[in-house]
Amino acid sequence: MPDTTARPQLEATSPFELRVNLGHELQESEVRSALASGDMGFLHSYTTGAAVDGPGVRVVAWTTGCMWRCRYCHNPDTWTITNGIPVSVARASEELRKYRGGLALMNGGFTLSGGEPLMQHRFAVKLLAEAKGMGIHTALDTNGFYGERLTDAEMEQVDLVLLDIKTWDAERHIALTGMDNGPTLEFARRLAARRRPVWLRYVLVPGLTDDASDIAEIARFAAGLGNVERVDVLPFHQLGQYKWAKLQLPYTLPDTESPDVLAVQRTLDAFRGQGLTAY
Ligand code: SF4
């Protein structure tokens, strides 16, 4: 495989930076071999300072590749794996090492997000293990669909799972993401059985994910797991809309506004009503 690790900058000011075709020089067989070994992966970027992606100040590595097609996705440029920068585990961990001291001072950590990190689960496991080896707190932000790819031992490398639950009703979930939510819920149960800490993330989109009975079901489910330490309700925004246009993808939510304060409060109340900590 050609050494492409000297190009382009991994660091970005924000994941909302549009990045495409950064791994396009690789042959399909090279991509397959990278995914199989995990010695090389594909990253959209590294960003710093995120406070909603785990405890304390975080360094976040955004992977490329996602099998879902959420209608509200903020980063559709991460769907295609070869839009990302091909990086070796060594380069990705070297990048992380730069922040090690600062993260320790600020009780922060490293979050692997995406895209869907478990599309490249071997790379994800290796990079998270590197971070753990540096004494850095690790978090994995995932939609959980490929949770079965992680062994129990590999789950131990992850200090915290940020589990994205998109919606409850099975048909609504398929209409929203294109995929079934069964594997996500199964992964949630498995994490609970292994007593692995979870923060649940819920994107609130008016008219799409604000159905009260759906939210109530998720809240009941999450509370019953016993390992959900916190719920983050993330209000929908339009920051990623321009990417859909640039990528010539059909965006179905151009007129959808961010949820108002009352809608956010109702959602928080639904989770808190089940005894969960929600923000
Ligand atoms: S799971 Fe995440 S990255 Fe994938 S389509 Fe949905 S919002 Fe986008």
**Which pLDDT tens digit goes with each residue over 135-192?**
999 999 999 999 999 999 999 889 999 999 999 999 999 999 999 999 999 999 999 9
Bond from prior residue into 115 cis (ω within 30 degrees of 0): yes
Question: 84 falls in which pLDDT band (50, 70, 90)?
Answer: very high
Start-end of H helices in 119-199: 121-133, 152-155, 170-177, 182-193
CB atoms within 10 A of CB 214: 17
Statement: residue 246 has pLDDT above 80: yes
140: β partners: 112, 161
Question: 3 falls in which pLDDT band (50, 70, 90)?
Answer: very low
In this structure, which residue's CA is closest to atom 8 in ligand 1?
73
Bond from prior residue into 101 cis (ω within 30 degrees of 0): no
Question: 7 falls in which pLDDT band (50, 70, 90)?
Answer: low
Question: Which pLDDT value is given to residue 4?
Answer: 46
Statement: residue 1 has pLDDT above 80: no
| Amino acid sitting at position 66 | C
Closest approach atom of ligand 1 to CA 143: 1
Q: Probe ligand 1: pick from 143, 165, 167, 202, max atoms within 8 Å of CB?
A: 143
Q: How far is the CA of 240 from the centre of ligand 1 (A)?
A: 12
Q: How far is the CA of 70 from the centre of ligand 1 (A)?
A: 5
In this structure, which residue's CA is closest to atom 7 in ligand 1?
73
Q: Is the CB of 73 under 6 A from ligand 1?
A: yes
Burial (CB count <10 Å: 0-12, 13-18, 19+), residue 235: middle
Q: How far is the CA of 105 from the centre of ligand 1 (A)?
A: 32
Average pLDDT, the chain: 93
- Highest mean pLDDT among 2-6, 203-207, 238-242 belongs to 203-207
Q: Is the CB of 66 under 6 A from ligand 1?
A: yes
Q: How far is the CA of 148 from the centre of ligand 1 (A)?
A: 18
Q: Is the CB of 185 under 6 A from ligand 1?
A: no
Q: How far is the CA of 101 from the centre of ligand 1 (A)?
A: 31
Statement: residue 58 has pLDDT above 90: yes
Per-residue pLDDT tens over the stretch 12-47: 877 778 888 788 788 888 888 888 999 999 999 999
Closest approach atom of ligand 1 to CA 177: 6
Q: Is the CB of 270 under 6 A from ligand 1?
A: no
Decide: helix, strand or coil at residue 76.
helix
DSSP for residue 80: S
Structural tokens at position 169:
């009703």
Contact 122, 31 (CB under 8 A): no
Question: 50 falls in which pLDDT band (50, 70, 90)?
Answer: low
Structural tokens at position 86:
């091909």
Contact 1, 34 (CB under 8 A): yes
Question: Which pLDDT value is given to residue 23?
Answer: 81
Q: Is the CB of 116 under 6 A from ligand 1?
A: yes
Contacts of 216 (CB under 8 A, 6+ apart): 270
CB atoms within 10 A of CB 157: 20
pTM score: 0.94
Q: Probe ligand 1: pick from 71, 116, 176, max atoms within 8 Å of CB?
A: 116
